[in-house]
Amino acid sequence: MHIHILGICGTFMGGIALLARAAGHRVTGCDANVYPPMSAQLMEQGIDLVEGYGAEQIGLNPDLFVIGNTVGRGKPLLEAILDRNLPYVSGPQWLAENILRGRWVLGVAGTHGKTTTTSLLAWILQEANLSPSFLVGGVPQGFGVSARLTDSPFFVIEADEYDTAFCDKRSKFVHYHPRTVILNNLEFDHADIFADLAAIETQFHHLVRTLPSNGLVVANGGEVALERVLTRGCWTPVERFNVASGWQAGPVGADGGFDVSLAGRGLGRVASFALAGDHNRANALAALAAARHAGVPVEVGLRALETFHGVKRRLEVRGTVRGVTVIDDFAHHPTAIRVTVDGLRQRVGPARILAVLEPRSNTMKLGTMKAALPEALMDADAVFCYAANLGWDAAEALALLGAKAGVFDDLDALVAAVVAMAREGDQVLVMSNGGFGGIHDKLLAALAH
C-alpha cells in the first residue's frame, strides 16, 4: 500500500512513517517545515519528502492519506482530499488499527517527561532481551531512531494528550488501548486546544477508562491532578511512585546513582545514572515499575538504567568551543524549563548557565504561561529570550529577572550577545521545541571565531 503522510516531519508522524515503512508499505509525505533530526531520519530510510501542502500532491495517487494533527482546514491538499472524497485517516487511528492491535502496549502519558520515560522503558525492555517495538517523540541515543517495529508482542509508545487530527478532537492516547500506562504528571498545557486543567483531566480519564482490569497504572503519587483523575473511576490496579507507600529513589550519589525502594523495602541500587535531576530519577522509577509489569525483574531494570545514555534534545551536548559548552533541550513549558535548569545545575555545580529560550509552542505564543517564566529561569545566571513573532511583551514578562535577562527580535543579535558574555566554563543551555533557526551551530561557529 502507498501511504502519503501529511505533517510527516513532526516527531509523532515521522515515527508513524518509519513504522509504516517497516511494515512493508510505500511511504511518502509532506510538511511545511522540514528540519532535523526527523528529516534526516526519513531521508535515510528512503522516504520522499515534499515541501508544503500543495494540491498537486493528489497526483501521487496514494492508496491512503494519513493526516497529522498540525494539518488544519484550509491547506490546499487537505481540501482537495475532502472535495474528492479520497480515503484518509488520522495518524493515531492508523497506528492503532494497523500496528498496535494485538500487542501489549505500554503507554507513557503526562505533561512532562514523556519522551525520556518512554525511552527509558523501551531501553529496559531491550536490555531484558524483549526487543520491543516503540514510538518515541525524540531519538533515544541507544537506538538512534524514534520508532522501530519488531516481532515482539511489546510496544512502548509516548502517549500524548494533544488532539488527534482536524477530524478527531480527542487526545491521541485514547486510540492506543494500553495494558500498562504511566501517568507521569499533569498540569495545564496546550492552551490552544484546552480551556483549563479540568478539560485535560477529562481526557486523561478517558484514557484510564480504556485500561483492562489485568493492566497496571503507574502514577506519580505527588500529583494532585492525577489523583483527581483516578478518583473519577479506575478499574485497574495502581502503583504509585514518589511517595513513601510506593516506589522511591534515595539520595543521589556523586556518580548519579541512587537506591530504589518499594513501600520502604530496598530493591537495589542504580550504580550510576547519566540523567541529571530529581525529575529524571522519578522517570526512572516509573519505567522500572512499568517494566516489572511486563515481566522484567527489577534487578535487570536497575542494570539497564546504568547503560542508558539519554535522548537527543534532552540536555544534549552539541559541542564545546574554547571551554564553552552548548547544550540543546526541548523544554518549552515553564515547569520543564525549571526542572531542566535545575537538572543542569546539579550536573555542573557553580558553573555559569546562560539560558537561551525560544517560546515557540502554541501555549507559549499565546502568553498563557508567561507569568511563570521568571521563576522557571531564576537559577540561570543569564537569560536570552528570542521574542520574534510573539503576541506578548517578553521584556515585560521577564522584568523580574532584572539585568540578567535580555530580549531579542533578531537571532543574529542574540547569538552575538551570548558569545560576547560567554567565557570558559560556561554552559549555554538552548531551550526550544523547534529548530530555533539553527542557533546551536551558529553559536558554536561564532564561539570559534
Range in 67-71, 160-164, 299-303 with the lowest mean pLDDT: 160-164
**Nearest in space to 109 (alpha carbons), one of 145, 156, 61:** 156
Q: Is the pLDDT of residue 331 over 90?
A: no
**What is the pLDDT averaged over residues 88-108?**
97
- H-type alpha helices, 270-371: 278-293, 298-306, 334-348, 362-366
**Nearest in space to 147 (alpha carbons), one of 12, 35, 10:** 12
The one-character DSSP state at 55 is G
384 pairs with which residues across the strands?
356, 406
Task: Retrieve residue 50's grid coordinates.
Answer: 515534499
| % of the chain at pLDDT higher than 70 | 97
Q: What is the mean pLDDT of the chain?
A: 91
Distance CA 34, CA 48 (A): 12
Distance CA 374, CA 384 (A): 12
- Grid look-up 480515503 returns 87
Name the amino acid, one letter, at 190. Answer: H
pTM: 0.79
Q: Give the pLDDT score at 275.
A: 83
Q: Is the pLDDT of residue 346 over 90?
A: no
Task: Retrieve residue 398's grid coordinates.
Answer: 521577564
**CB burial string 15-34: b at 16+ within 10 A, e below:** bbbbbbbbeebebbbbbeeb
Neighbours of 263 (CB within 10 A): 12
29 pairs with which residues across the strands?
5, 49
43 to 39, 46, 50, 335: CA distances (angstroms)? 6, 5, 11, 34
Q: Give the pLDDT score at 201.
A: 94
217 pairs with which residues across the strands?
181, 238
Three-class secondary structure of residue 166 per DSSP: coil
Is the peptide bond prior to 76 cis by the omega test (within 30 degrees of 0)? no
Q: Give the pLDDT score at 36.
A: 66
- Grid look-up 489485568 returns 214
Question: Residue 59 contacts by C-beta under 8 Å, 6 or more apart in sequence?
Answer: none
What angle do helix axes 278-293 and 298-306 make, rounded to 10 degrees? 140
Q: Can you give the residue ranges of every domain in the chain?
A: 2-90, 102-306, 316-448
254 to 95, 155, 276, 346, 350: CA distances (angstroms)? 42, 34, 11, 10, 15
E-strand ranges in 315-402 read: 316-321, 324-329, 353-357, 382-386
358 to 116, 159, 365, 417, 447: CA distances (angstroms)? 21, 25, 10, 15, 20
Q: Is the pLDDT of residue 369 over 80?
A: no
- Grid look-up 537506591 returns 259
Q: Is the pLDDT of residue 37 over 70?
A: no
**What is the pLDDT averaged over residues 416-426?**
94
**Nearest in space to 411 (alpha carbons), one of 378, 381, 446, 380:** 446
Task: Retrieve residue 115's grid coordinates.
Answer: 519522551
Name the amino acid, one letter, at 334. Answer: P
**Side-chain half-sphere of 262: how many Cα atoms within 13 Å?**
11
Q: Is the pLDDT of residue 191 over 80?
A: no
* Domain 2-90 architecture: 3-Layer(aba) Sandwich (3.40)
Q: Is CATH 3.40.1160.10 the classification given to domain 102-306?
A: no
pLDDT tens digits, residue range 219-277? Answer: 999 899 999 999 999 999 999 999 999 999 999 887 889 999 999 999 999 998 988 78
Three-class secondary structure of residue 123 per DSSP: helix
Three-class secondary structure of residue 267 per DSSP: strand
**Nearest in space to 424 (alpha carbons), one of 355, 352, 356, 357:** 352
Task: Retrieve residue 262's grid coordinates.
Answer: 518499594
Distance CA 94, CA 404 (A): 48
CATH class of 316-448: alpha beta
Q: Report, in angstroms and rounded to the nearest whole number, the Rg of the chain calculated over CA atoms.
A: 22
**Nearest in space to 137 (alpha carbons), one of 311, 255, 305:** 311
User: Which is more confident, 133 or 255?
Assistant: 133
Distance in Å from the first CA to the final CA of the chain: 51
Q: Is the pLDDT of residue 189 over 80?
A: no
Confidence of residue 320 (pLDDT cuts 50, 70, 90): very high
**What is the pLDDT averaged over residues 353-359?**
92
Confidence of residue 192 (pLDDT cuts 50, 70, 90): low
Element (H, E) at 30: strand 26-31
Distance CA 10, CA 5 (A): 11
